[in-house]
Amino acid sequence: MQSANKCQSQGAPTASRSSILGLDLLTFLMADVRDGVGPYLSVFLKGGLHWQSGEIGIAMAASSITAAICQIPAGLLVDSVHAKRLLVVISGLMVCLGCLLVVCVPKLIVVVGAQSALGAASAIIPPALAALSLGIVGRMRFPSRVSRNESFNHGGNFAAAILAGTIGQRLGYHWIFYLVCLFALGSAAAVALIRPQEIDHAVARGGDDKDPQTKAGQSGRAIPIPDLLKRRDLITFLVSVVLFHFGNVAYGGSGVGEDTPRL
């Protein structure tokens, strides 16, 4: 019995039902928030506002470029702060504000700025959710938690697609943006269910929850970027990911108009 208690104190943490429910709801609701309105933006700009294809391309590219630039800083930010729940809330509110700006002030410079904010938020949300999951359930239970997150993520995407299609057809394209805002506010409420004292921030940034030294901050230390660049396995992985995205990239135009250039 003493050995079991010792393993429990040094092993993977046991999360409460409230925190698990919060993670489930957060993953479900963030499925539609983390990428903003995505492809619905081009439909809204072309079908609702009759924008030219070039302007739509600029607006769509702003989000992708900002997200790519913010990937590394977002990961560093999530690892360095303990207010991971607050990061998720702020990112969700950024998405909400960006969607409202697109609908209420549909000018090119405003839409580009809103899309840039959405791109920055989309770079923060995935690592923040992963860190919260890892910090709550621990490394031992993390693989099963990832599977559960993906299940709720796909469920959220499916539900959002049905709601967006129904609302867009009956009420208009602009209501899709309000739907994303509703999901964002719901995700902010779901964060409140996660108990902050159950988040092991050392484990959340990659520390070993089986190692007592983790609790003392001697494990899971940040590795300098120059040292990371010396790791051949990491470089091989990065190159593989880049090649995958080049091979998997969509082509043939955006489908927003007949005058869209094609490769």
Give residue-wise pLDDT tens across range 139-171. 889 999 999 999 999 998 899 889 888 888 888
**Average pLDDT of the residues of the chain:** 81
For the chain, the structural domain boundaries read: 16-205
Q: What is the DSSP string of 112-148?
A: HHHHHHHHHHHHHHHHHHHHHHHHHHHHHHHHHHHHH
Model pTM score:
0.77
pLDDT digits (tens, 9 = 90+) for 66-85: 988 998 899 889 988 899 99
Confidence check: pLDDT of 242 > 90: no
Q: Please give the class, per CATH, of domain 16-205.
A: mainly alpha
User: What are the φ and ψ backbone dihedral angles of 252, each rounded to 5 degrees?
Assistant: 95, 20
For residues 42 and 257, give the distance between their C-alpha atoms in angstroms, rounded to a whole number: 10
Gyration radius of the chain's alpha carbons: 21
The residues, ordered by sequence, that sit 6+ positions from 59 with a Cβ below 8 Å of its Cβ are: 41, 45, 51, 108, 111, 112, 115
CA atoms within 13 A on the CB side of 236: 3
